[in-house]
Structure 1
Amino acid sequence: MTDRYLDPHQARQRTPTTYEDLLGDAIERAFAAGIHDLAGLVEQLNQSGLASPSGKLWTEAIYREEMATLGA
């Protein structure tokens, strides 16, 4: 029997999409680089080359909206 508290994906309903994996990787790289504020994170996402869902440059508003969508 697996201890449910040791399962890092216990709340996952499905496997992440390629886009979600790439976004997560880009966010992790930003945090690893010492970026912890939203403005810096958005700038790093734009420099990473990963487009926002609309294909536009990332903004704080687009980032918030995307996190709300993915977290729903």
Structure 2
Amino acid sequence: MTDRYLEPHQARKRAPTTYEDLLGDAIERAYGAGIHDLKDLVQALNDSGLASPSGKIWTEEVYRQEIADLANQTA
């Protein structure tokens, strides 16, 4: 029997885009700053200067839709 281990990118079908990397970095910075609720996360994204894909300000709905779209792209 082989040892089981976690392969961190086992579900990845492609490398992340630059935008996905920047979004991930902004989310990680927000979490690192102690932000854990959606309202404050959205505000942190707006404060970061990272535009949403549509160029509109981040809202909770825009965030939910973008994360859903990203999940569907990698599925």
TM-score by length of 2: 0.89
- 1:31 aligns with 31
Over the aligned positions, Cα root-mean-square deviation in angstroms equals 1.2
SS at match of 2:30: helix
Higher relative contact order (CA 8 A, sep 6+): 2
- 2:43 aligns with 43
Off by >4 Å, runs of 4+ in structure 1: none
Q: Percent identity?
A: 74
Larger Rg: 2
- 1:10 aligns with 10
Q: Which consecutive unaligned segments of at least 5 residues does structure 1 have?
A: none
For these two proteins, the number of residue pairs brought into alignment is: 70
TM-score by length of 1: 0.92
Q: Which consecutive unaligned segments of at least 5 residues does structure 2 have?
A: none
